[in-house]
């Protein structure tokens, strides 16, 4: 099995060399799924670079009246969760219905390959709810990704092709 660093390099190169896609499409698919439609408190993220776009997704979640939590990266690489710029407490974090997570890749077991800082894996320990990675289909792999004891699997992946559920 390849190392996490080798896998990260592979999927970063795959993203860089892939033809331009509609980076908003995975978010559109996610907005149509029952978990998001029925969820009241949703934790999301702010995409950057070649990640699937989340700005319109986050705006739409707010427009729908959802409580939207967004992460703020601390100097120790932990995340503080904010709602409208205000830090939220543990009670809110334990009431989250859906957690939308970035990923470089997801395998068919729900193993998530992140950027390597461990920020989201640590955050997922306190966030309840359905965990879904927002990725492009080229990042959904049939090959098993390396997994360590601290890694937290996701329940599903949202791609431009639809929702893939793992559990």
pLDDT-above-90 percentage for the chain: 71
Contact 44, 54 (CB under 8 A): yes
DSSP 126: T
The superfamily in CATH containing domain 4-165 is: NagB/RpiA/CoA transferase-like (3.40.50.10420)
Burial category of 100 from C-beta neighbours within 10 Å (exposed 0-12, middle 13-18, buried 19 and up) = buried
| Domain positions in the chain | 4-165
Compute the distance between CA of residue 120 and CA of residue 98 in angstroms, rounded to an integer. Answer: 14
**pLDDT tens, residue by residue, 117-138:** 889 989 998 898 999 999 999 9
Residue carrying structure tokens 């503080």: 80
**pLDDT at residue 126 in the model:** 87
């Amino acid at each position: 099995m390849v190392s996490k660093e080798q896998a990260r390099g592979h999927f970063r190169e795959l993203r860089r060399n892939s033809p331009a896609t509609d980076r908003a499409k995975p978010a559109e698919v996610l907005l149509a799924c029952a978990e998001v439609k029925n969820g009241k408190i949703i934790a999301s993220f702010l995409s950057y670079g070649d990640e699937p776009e989340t700005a319109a997704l986050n705006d739409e979640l707010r427009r729908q009246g959802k409580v939207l939590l967004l992460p703020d990266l601390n100097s120790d690489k932990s995340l503080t969760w904010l709602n409208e710029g205000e830090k939220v407490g543990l009670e809110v974090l334990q009431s989250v219905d859906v957690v939308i997570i970035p990923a470089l890749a997801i395998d068919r077991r729900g193993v998530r390959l992140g950027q390597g800082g461990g920020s989201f894996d640590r955050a997922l320990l306190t966030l309840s709810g359905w965990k879904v990675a927002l990725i492009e289909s080229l990042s959904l792999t049939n090959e098993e990704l390396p997994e360590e004891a601290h890694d937290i699997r996701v329940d599903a992946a949202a791609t431009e092709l639809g929702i893939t559920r793992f559990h």
